[in-house]
Structure formats: structure tokens, C-alpha cells
């Protein structure tokens, strides 16, 4: 008979081995959504959209090189959520006038580019549009942030263009982060 302590240790080691193997399984196998060249091209095209490449004057990208992050539904986007799209962050001077100007700029740009736009109560912009037969959502959010550790206030925002998968006709109006 195996002592209870040894049995617990063996069980914990087995559970650790199973979880280590699970995390090594490629996202495309865990998601059940196959990666494809068409998905990659669609996500890359979203990364070149004017909303992500033409910020208003005085606004700079958060990261270098200044290019959008693109992803396919098969890759996973944290929290085991699988959707495709492109994301880019920007910083700007922390002034009320700068925030209002950026919101007005993106509101005009989305409407001019054919997006159906709503503005949420917090000022975030949400747009929907069908691109090449796929429902895409545009989300301009998080115009203000505060860093309580360093007692600094800054203004940054993120623009994400997202879709469920190619050919999906139902827009993905909320991100997983919105629902938690």
C-alpha cells in the first residue's frame, strides 16, 4: 500500500505533466479553428486599415515598430478566446482637448469609411461593417488611464478591428474582456 502523502505527490506530478502537455498543444488544435492563408491575408489587410495607420496629428503609436498586431482566430487572443483581427495602440498629450479631437477624428474617419457607428456612454467608439463578406467590428477605447503607482496620468487608446472567422455574418460586439 502507498502512503497517502506519496499518492498525493504522484497525483500532483501527473496533473502538472498533463497541464504542461496541454499548454504545448498549438492554439490551432485547442481552438478547433484551422489556420489558413485566407485568414492570415484578411487579418493582415485589417492591419493596414486607415483606422490603424492614419492617426490624427500629434498622436504616436505605443509600440515600435509602429505596426498593428494582427492575429487569426486559430491563434487565440488570451483568455482562451479565439477571434481574428488587428490591434494598435496610440498615445497622445493628456488634455481634454486632445481627447475630444481624437474622438472627433475617429468618429469622422469611421463614418466616412462606411462603418455603422455608435458612441458608448464612456466615449468609446464602436463600429460595425461587412468587409469581403465578413462582419468586422471597430472598437476605439480607453482614451484615459491613470498610473496609481507612479502618480502619472496619461492618455492612450487602442483601436481593434476584430471578427469571429472568415464569412461570419454576426459581428463580435464585445471582447472577452468586456464580458468579465
Q: What is the pLDDT along the chain (180 residues), one digit of tens a residue?
A: 556 655 555 555 555 544 444 444 444 454 456 678 888 899 999 999 999 999 888 788 887 666 888 888 887 655 556 788 999 988 876 666 777 888 899 999 999 999 999 998 888 899 999 999 999 999 998 776 666 776 656 677 889 999 888 888 888 766 544 433
Q: What is the DSSP letter of 174?
A: S
As a 3-state breakdown, the chain gives helix, strand, coil percent values, each rounded to 5, of: 35, 25, 40
Distance of CA 25 to the CA centre of its chain: 22
Q: Could you tell me if 37 and 96 are in contact, meaning their C-beta atoms sit under 8 angstroms apart?
A: no
The pLDDT assigned to 19 comes to 44
Model pLDDT, residue 57: 83
Helix, coil or strand: residue 157: strand
Other beta carbons within 10 angstroms of residue 44's beta carbon come to 13
- Residue 166 cell numbers, joined: 472568415
In which element (H, E) is residue 98 found?
helix 96-112
Name the nearest CA neighbour of 83 among 166, 180, 148.
166
Those residues whose C-beta lies under 8 Å from the C-beta of residue 29, and which sit 6 or more positions away, are none
In this prediction, residue 27 carries a pLDDT of: 47
Q: Residue 95 half-sphere exposure, CB side, CA atoms within 13 Å?
A: 6
Q: pTM here?
A: 0.71
C-alpha cell at 18: 498533463
Three-state secondary-structure class, residue 111 = helix
3-state secondary structure of 180: coil
Amino acid at each position: 500500500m502507498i502512503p497517502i502523502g506519496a499518492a498525493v505527490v504522484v497525483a500532483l506530478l501527473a496533473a502538472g505533466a498533463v497541464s504542461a502537455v496541454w499548454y504545448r498543444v498549438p492554439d490551432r488544435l485547442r481552438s478547433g479553428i484551422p489556420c489558413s492563408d485566407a485568414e492570415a491575408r484578411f487579418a493582415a489587410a485589417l492591419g493596414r486599415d486607415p483606422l490603424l495607420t492614419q492617426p490624427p496629428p500629434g498622436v504616436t503609436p505605443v509600440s515600435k515598430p509602429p505596426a498593428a498586431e494582427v492575429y487569426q482566430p486559430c491563434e487565440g487572443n488570451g483568455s482562451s478566446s479565439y477571434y481574428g483581427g488587428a490591434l494598435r495602440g496610440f498615445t497622445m498629450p493628456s488634455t481634454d482637448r486632445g481627447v475630444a479631437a481624437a474622438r472627433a477624428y475617429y468618429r469622422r474617419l469611421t463614418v466616412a469609411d462606411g462603418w455603422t457607428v455608435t458612441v458608448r456612454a464612456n466615449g468609446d467608439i464602436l463600429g460595425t461593417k461587412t468587409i469581403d463578406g465578413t462582419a468586422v467590428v471597430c472598437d476605439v477605447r480607453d482614451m484615459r488611464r491613470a498610473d496609481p503607482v507612479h502618480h502619472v496620468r496619461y492618455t492612450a487608446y487602442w483601436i481593434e478591428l476584430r471578427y469571429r472567422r472568415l464569412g461570419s455574418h454576426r459581428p463580435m460586439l464585445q471582447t472577452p474582456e468586456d464580458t468579465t
